[in-house]
Amino acid sequence: MATYSLANERLRALEDIEREIGAILQNAGTVILELSKEKTNERLLDRQAVAFTASVQHVEAELSAQIRYLTQVATGQPHEGSSYSSRKDCQMALKRVDYARLKLSDVARTCEQMLEN
């Protein structure tokens, strides 16, 4: 299960990189917008430009690390296993448990009403 969470962490890291790419484009847009004004706010301009450069370098480093990791651990053939069926069966079992709990609570409520009457 630890390896499963490790793989999920890598996927989360890739999702963070995606968000950072969006932030990079937003920074670039802010810088160009600021340049188009007659009176530019230099501090904001510098800050956004530095953020843009730092984000680009960070994205490059992260993606290079991911590609390096994949070079080390990639298998020869893509796998064909799936945990979908067992996950579905487990979900159905949990739904059965919830349903049984619901019905038992109904019976308990009925018994309490009978006792009150």
Partner 1 sequence: MAQKRVLPQSKETLLQSYHKRLKDDIKSMMDNFTKIIKTAKIEDETQVSRATQGKQDNYEMHVRASNIVRAGESLMKLVSDLKQFLILNDFPLVKAIDQHNQQLRALQEECDRKLTALRDQVSIDLYQLEEAYYSSSSSLREANNLSLCEAYWRLDLDTDAADGLAAPLRASLEPSAGPLQSAAPAHSHASGPGPTEHA
In angstroms, give the least distance from the CB of 60 to partner 1.
Answer: 5
Query: Which listed residue (37, 38, 42, 67) binds partner 1 by CB under 8 A?
Result: 67
Query: Which listed residue (46, 89, 106, 112) binds partner 1 by CB under 8 A?
Result: 89
Query: Which listed residue (37, 39, 43, 79) binds partner 1 by CB under 8 A?
Result: 79
Count Cβ atoms below 10 Å from residue 8 Cβ, excluding itself. 10
Contacts with partner 1, 45-64, as mask; x by CB under 8 A:
----x--xx--x--xx--xx
Tell whether residue 108 is a contact of partner 1 (CB under 8 A).
Answer: no
Q: Which residues of 52-76 are buried (b: 16+ CB within 10 A; e: fewer)?
A: beebeeebeeeeeeeeeeeeeeeee
Count Cβ atoms below 10 Å from residue 1 Cβ, excluding itself. 5
